[in-house]
Amino acid sequence: MKHSAKQLFSISVPRKLLNKKSPVAIFDSGVGGLTVAKRLHSLMPGEKIVYFGDTARVPYGTKSHQIIKQYAIQIASFLVNFNPKIIIIACHSVSSLGKTFLEKKFRDFVFFDVIQPSAEEAVKVTRNKKIGVIGTPATISSNSYPSIIKKIDNNVEVYQKACPLLVPLVEEGWIDSDVADIIVKQYIQELLDSKIDTLVLGCTHYPLLKKTIKKITGPAITLVDASEATSRTVKEFLVSYGLLNSRMPKPPVLYFSDFPEYRRKIMSKFWNEKNLIIKKVNIEGRYNV
């Protein structure tokens, strides 16, 4: 049976945003959300991407829910100036607080989070119904993954582990290193002992550590990457609403709240594309909430 766009997404898109030429806005606490932006760009090259990474205040995952909400509102206040057709919360630590607080404050805009698509994907791929989730302390303590997964299939068991050291490791570009091997092993061993067959990378920074994680989990465990699941969902949405922009590819514009010169060198580890436009913007002074 074919579902209508409304049945699939239960979203009513404000009329004025029904413009396929508008950009797709994506944000994260730092460079992790680039995994989503990059995947989206390769899946939908005609989309204009405006990215914001809050590198001045990363990490979010070790901060209180109240501060994370406040930061997310500041970021959205900046991004709505681009009149984006959708805003992707490419950060699990923000997504884990639910997107309602953003939807209520920015009523004219459509938000997508990274948790729902990843949870659905995990339930789809698990065979033994034992799913592991790794994420920041904020994401894990919110219990978002277990509650969303249980709503989809109550028979699934979810094992979670907070991994606070992984975000700083990725931000510094220590992706393929012995240190990463040791830390990842230390974090995920207890999930492997629980005989999970699926592991959700519940932080958008973690796909950058995929090689290391795969080395430790071995080939039998399926990794669920939010960038894949979210980009597919977003594409389905844009197609359903006739909002997909298939024009000439535009270089993504990446805004960061801080970008010290030395980061330019490690940027290629996150997104090795010559045409990226990188800008620095101070949102804290301009968008106080």
Kindly list the residues in this chain that would bind ligand DGL in the complex (CB under 6 A).
Answer: 28-30, 32, 58-61, 91-93, 136, 139, 167, 203-205
Kindly name the residue from 44, 91, 94, 134 that is annotated as catalytic. 91
**Are the CB atoms for 175 and 199 separated by under 8 Å?**
no
Minimum Å gap between C-beta 136 and ligand DGL is 4
User: Closer to ligand DGL at the Cβ: 87 or 91?
Assistant: 91
Closer Cβ to ligand DGL, 167 or 243, answer by number: 167
Number of residue whose CB is nearest ligand DGL: 61
**Would you say 238 and 5 are in contact if contact means Cβ atoms under 8 Å apart?**
no
Tell me whether residue 156 or residue 203 sits nearer to ligand DGL (CB atom).
203
Task: Name the token pair of 109.
Answer: 């805009």
Of 148, 268, 162, which is closest to residue 208 (Cα–Cα)?
A: 268
Cα 134 to Cα 113: distance, rounded to the nearest angstrom: 17
Q: In angstroms, what is the minimal distance from the CB of 83 to ligand DGL?
A: 25
Q: Is 163 in the active site? A: no
Q: Choose between 207 and 241: whose C-beta lies nearer to ligand DGL.
A: 207
Question: CA-CA distance, 196 to 221, in Å (whole number)?
Answer: 7
How many Cβ atoms sit within 10 Å of the Cβ of residue 261? Answer: 6
In Å, how far from its chain's centre is CA 82? 20
Residue recorded with tokens 């550590």: 209
Q: Which is nearer to ligand DGL, 60 or 187 (CB)?
A: 60
**Contacts with 66 (C-beta within 8 Å, 6 or more apart), sequence order:** none
Q: How far is the CB of 198 from ligand DGL (least distance, A)?
A: 18
CB of 46 to ligand DGL, least distance (A): 26
Q: How far is the CB of 113 from ligand DGL (least distance, A)?
A: 10
Q: Which helix (H) or strand (E) holds 38?
A: helix 34-43
Q: What is the DSSP letter of 40?
A: H
Q: Exactly one of 37, 134, 203, 221 is catalytic; which is it?
A: 203
Strands of the sheet with 157-162, listed across from one edge = 157-162, 130-135, 198-202, 222-225
Is 203 a known active-site residue? Answer: yes
Active-site annotation, residues: 91, 203
